Homo-oligomer: A and B are copies of this chain.
Amino acid sequence: MDATIGDISSPGRVAEPGEDIGLDELALATRNHGLPLEALRYDLTPAGLHYVLVHYDIPAAEADGWRLTVGGRVRNALTLDLAGLHSLPSVTRRVTMECAGNGRARLVPRPVSQPWLVEAVGTAEWTGVPLRVLLAEAQVTAEAVEAVFTGADHGVERGVEQDYRRSLPLPVALGDDPEVIVAYEMNGLPLPPQHGFPLRLVVPGWYGMAQVKWLRDITLTDTPFTGFQQAVAYRLRQSRDEAGEPVERIAPRALMIPPGFPDFMSRARVVRPGEIRLEGRAWSGRAPVTAVEVSTDGGDSWTRAALDPSGGHDWAWRHWQTSWTATAGSHVLSVRATDAQGHTQPLDQPWNRGGFANNLVQRVPVLCVESG
């Protein structure tokens, strides 16, 4: 029988009990990467430290000849080159992005996919044209209900050959808070290849799957989009056969800069006895973070940390800090965020078959020993 794509592309699955990380998961982990947690120290994440997830390959994109088309249910279809986009009004927004699969590798049972532990996050300033400006120019017609975004990355997923493609409901696409951006700069420089050069979508508050990279087309549709990344992937399901709810906005999370210094292999932390500053970042894509609490006894008791103001960056993480008096011995540090809608982080894993939107609290094992 002739070979087919099905021979190299399997259905989604959940690991067997006791099944460790396989070479396929490792191959994703060695090419994608998270934020080394000490890089939570930077307000703006340098490009090479910001988390990256690429479904297929980074396309060989050239600025010359790149075109963004806007079509479908519009009266004035657009074809824009980069100079054309640069001539339109632009905004710069500080946005925290997080992969919907962050924390997946610690779930039991483990959904088999990109095996993030907890580090799939980053914050950058993105500059570009508000999507609502482009859509006004294109004159969206009354029948339109969604905007579908197509990237230049092409591959196969669970047997389906595809360009990476996602949609947004029209009210989200036209919104002004959060305001969706067609971005051409990250932290004041042209987008790096792995972050979507030359154009990407930035949807503040939404998980990473909405932030379509290498953006080349926007099509307005009069029916909801049912492509693979919308209807098959990125759904919250307990069993394989249910439709599931869509993955959309980022659940609240706080992360701590692991204090002290690490062991190379175990990544466990070593601190000296005495007062230690604990600090990190907290964010939610649903509502402002209202509280950050820290536990130094493995989650039995919690105390409030000081939370910095947002500084007008409503869709970016906020710095928090507190202090802890370390005593000799082993400790487990944790932190959790709560937002203005009352969402908080659970101590028991929120589980679904894709391992999405899991905001289980971080645990940082620390050993406190005297010097030498």
- Nearest-CB residue, chain B, relative to A18: B20
Tell me the smallest distance from the CB of A278 to a CB of chain B, in Å: 15
Interface membership of A19, Cβ < 8 A: yes
Known interface pairs A26-B105, A194-B36, A328-B2. Does A57 touch B113 (Cβ–Cβ under 8 Å)?
no
Give 1 or 0 for each of A37-68: 1 = CB within 8 Å of chain B CB: 11101100011111010111110100000000
Interface membership of A155, Cβ < 8 A: yes
Question: Would you call B266 and A9 a contact (CB within 8 A)?
Answer: yes
CA distance A367 to B2 in the complex (A): 11
CA distance A46 to B189 in the complex (A): 13
Residues of B within 8 A of A24 (CB): 265-267
Which of B19, B33, B157 is A32 in contact with, Cβ under 8 Å? B33
Q: Name A317-349 residues within 8 Å CB distance of B.
A: 328-330
- Nearest-CB residue, chain B, relative to A113: B265
Residues of B within 8 A of A34 (CB): 30-31
- Nearest-CB residue, chain B, relative to A117: B30
CA distance A135 to B188 in the complex (A): 38
Give 1 or 0 for each of A140-161: 1 = CB within 8 Å of chain B CB: 0000000000000011111001
Known interface pairs A30-B115, A112-B265. Does A156 touch B270 (Cβ–Cβ under 8 Å)?
yes
Question: Would you call B36 and A26 a contact (CB within 8 A)?
Answer: no
Interface membership of A3, Cβ < 8 A: yes
- Nearest-CB residue, chain B, relative to A372: B161
* Total number of A residues with any Cβ neighbor in B under 8 Å: 76
Which of B38, B42, B117, B157 is A263 in contact with, Cβ under 8 Å? B157
CA distance A81 to B18 in the complex (A): 53
Residues of B within 8 A of A55 (CB): 264
Question: Would you call B58 and A156 a contact (CB within 8 A)?
Answer: no
Instruction: Give the residue among A2, A49, A60 with the most B Cβ atoms within 10 A.
Output: A49
CA distance A32 to B265 in the complex (A): 12
Question: Would you call A8 and B263 a contact (CB within 8 A)?
Answer: yes
CA distance A34 to B55 in the complex (A): 16
- Nearest-CB residue, chain B, relative to A32: B33
Residues of B within 8 A of A52 (CB): 33, 48
Tell me the smallest distance from the CB of A55 to a CB of chain B, in Å: 5
Interface membership of A27, Cβ < 8 A: yes
Residues of B within 8 A of A36 (CB): 31, 54, 57-58, 194
Interface membership of A268, Cβ < 8 A: yes
Which of B3, B155, B268 is A262 in contact with, Cβ under 8 Å? B155
Question: Which 4 A-B pairs have CB atoms at the shortest separation, nearest pair first?
Answer: A48-B48, A20-B20, A33-B33, A8-B268
Q: A2-B369, A23-B117, A31-B34 are in contact. List 14 more A-B contacts (CB 8 A).
A: A3-B328, A3-B329, A3-B330, A7-B367, A30-B115, A30-B119, A36-B194, A38-B57, A41-B60, A48-B192, A155-B261, A155-B263, A156-B263, A156-B270
